[in-house]
Chains A and B, each alone.
Chain A
């Protein structure tokens, strides 16, 4: 019997001909990513008596969660990170002028199909959009990786989502993943690998794929793959990479389940507080007043997301009671959005543009919410207290729905503006 993408990559990385779900393996890591979490990894290693890392060329470190440092405490963490990068001779470091890890690593050509990648961040699943097995781990596991280059893994079962049909205008890949969470729950893929396949998956832009791979972890997944194709090769052209093989699952690979997802009549979706699977179509979500609207993060801070926002906002003004915050996910995106007039159109409409970083996404940087405030956000989580006050509410949607809602001051169907 053949193997799924997850099985192929874990077999290769653990030096075995084949692996099967449920098996425990020790695998060699191809690439390790750490953001501000590096400070904690550094301390863990020091506590264990290690003074060097297994391979400084296979580690990418960067600052993205608190950029620029909003507090003295976060400034101190940045200092520790910079010192660790120097001490260990880490070869790839990106400071304040790069952006969010999951956007920056692909842009800088670090992510290749078939790689096994761990990061100190749960949304490391984003790299699945390039056919890489990316997954989040904690600081202690990462200390073990930094020291030895290896980590234990349980080989996951794989489930497939077969994406069919054509997305209606104003409906985005974000709406697909939200509807999957709503229909099948936030743990449908718990401890499993996911493969997004089918004609629509093939048609999708890399940016749209990244949104879904990113949120694979929100349905519990360990990896969130698309099958790498020409689009991945084209993207990697000129990003410092030479050639690499495109990897695909075997035709007779075993799947635990295959779900058919037909999108032709899909509406824009909204996840209500406080869980990603508390989802309703936008038509059932009217009359929720909005104080803040946010487009950004590793989920929806890419150029196609900003372009969608411009389509809706151009020549209009954001509602007087709404603050619209837009944060391009990386410097590369920021610069492109300057060049093509995107930022100007957004600013004209009343948006505040933030520095490429996580921003308010995880509740420790600018753009936080006060009590009894509602925010509609094109991000990935709406947990209690995630964006400031524990008495605030975050509603998740696509950038299109965020933009339309910013115009009306309440949750609004973007199709009214297209």
Chain B
């Protein structure tokens, strides 16, 4: 897996899936939904985030519902990875499932300020603040999870399974 470098957007503790993608937009097309990502916490975010940016957050990131729109919309906006003090379980699974890199890293919230440059090595679970020159070790991801992430998520895995079983395409 490649090293990720990008600009940091900072968020606090308990960022829930309802603020990531509000309920009223979850059945809207992605083009519409992504305009509202995290707007209750930072109205500038969805407009100003650019491809390759990295989210750094506090504890329990992604708590709340099972809506996969949350990691989906972050990915659609170009977010390259989320590093947080800790993740809520379903968000963590969903991010891996759709191929969005995530890394639990206690202490990371105080390592960064918004706008600084981060370098992320998911494989080695290392986080570096390029602006300030500090490094932290995160909690390494299990091999099976790294495997799914390196394939770009669970769907590519399913696709190759489908081909193996020679299931006729619709």
Give chain A's interface residues, CB within 8 Å of chain B. Answer: 24, 36-37, 40, 44-52, 66, 71, 73-74, 77, 119-122, 124, 136-141, 143-144, 147-148, 152, 154, 186-187, 190-191, 220, 222, 275, 362-364, 381, 383-386, 388, 390
Q: Write the residues of chain B forming the contact surface with A, with a CB cutoff of 8 angstroms.
A: 14, 16, 18-19, 22-24, 26-28, 39-41, 59-60, 63-68, 71, 86, 88-90, 93-94, 97-98, 142, 144, 153-155, 157-159, 161-163, 167-170
Residues of A within 8 A of B93 (CB): 137-138, 141
- What is the distance, in angstroms, from B27's C-beta to the closest C-beta of chain A? 5
With A48-B162, A363-B24 as contacts: A122 and B66 at CB distance below 8 Å: yes
User: Which listed residue (A148, A220, A383, A388) contacts B89, Cβ 8 A?
Assistant: A220
How far in angstroms is the closest Cβ of chain A from B11?
Answer: 13
| Cβ-closest chain B residue relative to A76 | B27
Known A-B contacts A138-B97, A220-B60, A383-B16; A190 and B65 likewise in contact (beta carbons under 8 Å): no
Q: List 26 A-B contacts (CB under 8 A).
A: A47-B159, A48-B155, A48-B158, A48-B159, A49-B162, A50-B158, A50-B162, A50-B167, A51-B168, A51-B169, A71-B27, A122-B65, A137-B94, A141-B94, A143-B155, A148-B161, A187-B63, A190-B60, A191-B89, A222-B89, A362-B23, A362-B65, A384-B19, A384-B41, A385-B18, A386-B18
The docked-state distance in angstroms from the alpha carbon of A206 to that of B4 is: 49
Contact A139 B68 (CB under 8 A): yes
Known pairs A137-B90, A138-B90, A384-B16; list 14 more (Cβ under 8 Å).
A24-B144, A50-B162, A51-B169, A137-B93, A138-B93, A140-B155, A143-B154, A154-B142, A186-B14, A381-B64, A381-B65, A383-B16, A385-B18, A386-B18
Q: Is the CB of A383 within 8 A of B19?
A: yes
Chain A hits for B169, CB < 8 A: 49, 51
- A141 CB contacts on chain B under 8 angstroms: 93-94, 97, 154
Knowing A51-B167, A138-B94, A141-B93 are in contact, say whether A77-B158 is a contact too (CB < 8 A).
no
Which one of B63, B155, B167 has the highest number of Cβ atoms from chain A below 10 Å of its Cβ? B63
Q: A48-B159, A50-B162, A220-B89 are in contact. Are A138 and B68 (CB under 8 A)?
A: yes
CA distance A78 to B72 in the complex (A): 21
Distance in angstroms from B151 CB to nearest chain A CB is 12
Once A73-B27, A121-B65 are accepted as A-B contacts, the answer to whether A190 and B161 lie under 8 Å apart by CB is: no
Q: Are A47 and B155 closer than 8 Å at their CB atoms?
A: yes
Q: How near does chain A come to B90, taking the closest CB pair, in angstroms?
A: 5
A140 CA to B23 CA in the complex, in Å? 19
Which of chain B's residues have a CB closer than 8 A to the CB of A390?
22, 39-40
Determine the chain B residues whose CB is within 8 A of the CB of A148 once the complex forms.
161
Q: Choose one: B26, B66, B168; the contact of A121 (CB below 8 Å).
A: B66
A52 to B64, CA, bound (A): 31
B170 and A51 within 8 A (CB): yes
Q: Give bound CA distance, A77 to B28, whole Å.
A: 11
Cα distance, A148 to B154, chains bound together (Å)? 12
Q: How far is A348 from B97 in the complex, measured between Cα atoms in Å?
A: 50
> A154: which B residues are within 8 A, CB to CB?
142
User: 5 nearest interchain CB pairs?
Assistant: A363-B23, A138-B68, A140-B97, A138-B94, A48-B158
Do A385 and B63 touch (CB < 8 A)? no
Closest to B16 in A: A383
Which residue on B lies nearest to A191, using beta carbons?
B89
